[in-house]
Amino acid sequence: MEKNQNETPQHNPPSWFNWKTMAWMMLALTLFNWLLYPIIGRNQIKNTDYTSFVASVDSAQVKSVTIKDGIIYYTKPDAQGKDRYFTTTEVNDPGLVDRLLQAKSPSESGKVEFSQTPPEKNSPLLDFFLWWILPGFLFYWIWQGASRRMMKGGAGGNFLSFGQSGAKLYAEDDVKTTFADVAGQDEAKATLKEIVDFLHNPAKYTELGAKLPKGALLVGPPGTGKTLIARAVAGEAKVPFFSISGSEFVQMFVGMGAAKVRDLFKQAGEKAPCIIFIDEIDAIGKSRDSSMGNDEREQTLNQLLTEMDGFDGNKGLVILAATNRPETLDKALLRPGRFDRRVIMELPDLEGRKAILAVHLKKVKHGEIDMDVVGRATAGSSGADIANIVNEAALRAVRLGKSQVETADLEESVETVIAGEQKKGAVISPDEKRIIAYHEIGHAMVAACQSHSAPVQKITIIPRTSGALGYTMQVDEGEKHLMSRDELLNRIATLTGGRVAEEVLCHTCTTGASNDIEKATQLARAMITTYGMSDKFGMMQLEQQTNRYLGGNSTLTCSPETGREIDNEVRDIISQAYQKAVQLITEHEAEMHAAAEILLRKETITGEEFMKVLDKKN
């Protein structure tokens, strides 16, 4: 816009010149006067006791005396004849006036000049200003500033942002994530690509009467990329992206959560087509029942349900939500017309892990990487775990002075993420080290002598920061989706192999098998209560699983008598696996001694080295 040449220039005051600045300057000057000046003045006046004052009067050194508010101020000259100021506390001395009248002074008159000042009183107007007007003005100023922050919903946080959603808005050009950045979730991407296509070409669908799904619920374990794929949908569709966590709706004031929901949908309606992403929606979407006990959360959920029913899906407003606990969500939230689709994002399989690994390796310098070896070693890892593994490998390469990441760095980083860093400085006695070696060889021996068991990849007795004094790594040759009863029994036998080796070959029993016992008990109990692999109970549900994506919790759904029978069944399964491990280790005692000797000398051996020892003895 061009400036009018005839326009009279306005001389506005500087931007810093306003009433707030003046108020701060007045406050600073007042503080300076109240605090700094008395400190500076106090340095020029020396405080003395009353005895010194009387002695100075009697020795004709005092020139003047002033009594004010119970304080005696007096002056006397120093060696150079310059007056110095002193002070002391007034005491009840009836003879003070006579003493001062009779005393001599170094002044010209030869007498001490003294007087008493009556206490000063402020005027009523000044007192009214100091005690009423000034505090009221300061309070009003603070309240106005807080009110502006409430209206703007700015730096005041949730407490001051009444009615503001608090969602982060990313413009269509700000979201750079695309489906190319999401690997290992091909099924989820295929489901969400239809939503992207609908946002791009709505006419293609509306001609047939199809409606855009209002919402899609992303379900899966932590770290599987739910937030990442939601951003990728916005990046592919090139539409604004609203991101907010479910916990941000929950407020301490009744009605604030519902107000935030209304504001969020109002903003989104103005920006449509756009995408709303609500992370951890279970924070507000839990099932409404008598035990809910939070009216604010229930009101927020009711408002969310109302808003999802109220907007027109053809406008291009899509809601994506993520949760790790879908079983806790309210049924009304999951019905068609609200969250029409459920997108399952499970832990990636072997090919998915290799694809994720390739994505993250693009961000670091690397050489030739055996993707199959690393992919199999990361079984059960999420996308976030693999990203962490690649980063740990890059850090290790830097520590070792390498110019690029190698396969060995990735293999070591897998162990670092699983078991922690190596504790190379840990001091372990020779006897304990021998027991640890036989313990780990016991696991490897039982695993190697059984069919339907994963091959041994590595055996080590180097302590780790997680508390493990050693471990045996088994890696399946391929991806497994099912486990048979024999495979589970073999795994339990492998877990008992460490304790069996301690008892049979070292003639002792240590605490090193605590984690093995825990895992063996869990597997045996799951065989009976969850997998229906018990001859006694058959296909009967005895336990209910909850929080599947957060580690899982189990609750017995049977009587206490049946629970005791389950315990007996678990004990029998573990006992049979234990006897099987005793038999295998006893039959291969010579190989156990040979392998343990090599492990004690090298501290770490590969599965190939262990199998060579076993084959040589056979």
Tell me the catalytic residues: 440
Q: What single letter denotes the amino acid at residue 449?
A: C
**Phi, psi for residue 604 in degrees, rounded to 5:** -140, 130
What is the 3 state secondary structure string of 452-470? CCCCEEEEECCCECCCCCC
CB atoms within 10 A of CB 39: 8
Q: Is residue 576 within 8 Å of residue 569, measured between CB atoms?
A: no
Q: Is residue 410 within 8 Å of residue 393, measured between CB atoms?
A: yes
Task: Please write down the long-range contacts of 571-574, taking CB distance under 8 Å and 24 or more positions apart.
Answer: 573/489, 573/492, 573/524, 573/527, 573/528, 574/492, 574/496, 574/520, 574/521, 574/524
Place of tokens 């343990």: 596
Number of H helices, E strands in the chain: 23, 16
Q: What is the DSSP letter of 86?
A: E
Q: Where are the alpha helices (DSSP H) in 157-292?
A: 186-200, 202-206, 226-237, 256-271, 282-285
**Phi, psi for residue 458 in degrees, rounded to 5:** -160, 145
What dihedral do alpha carbons 475, 477, 483, 484 form, nearest 10°?
-120
- Name the pairing type of β-strands 113-117 and 215-219: unpaired
Give CA–CA dist 605/614, Å, rounded: 13
Give CA–CA dist 255/90, Å, rounded: 64
Structure tokens at 179: 């489906």
Residue 580 makes CB contacts below 8 A (sequence gap 6+) with: 446, 493
Structure tokens at 258: 């519902």
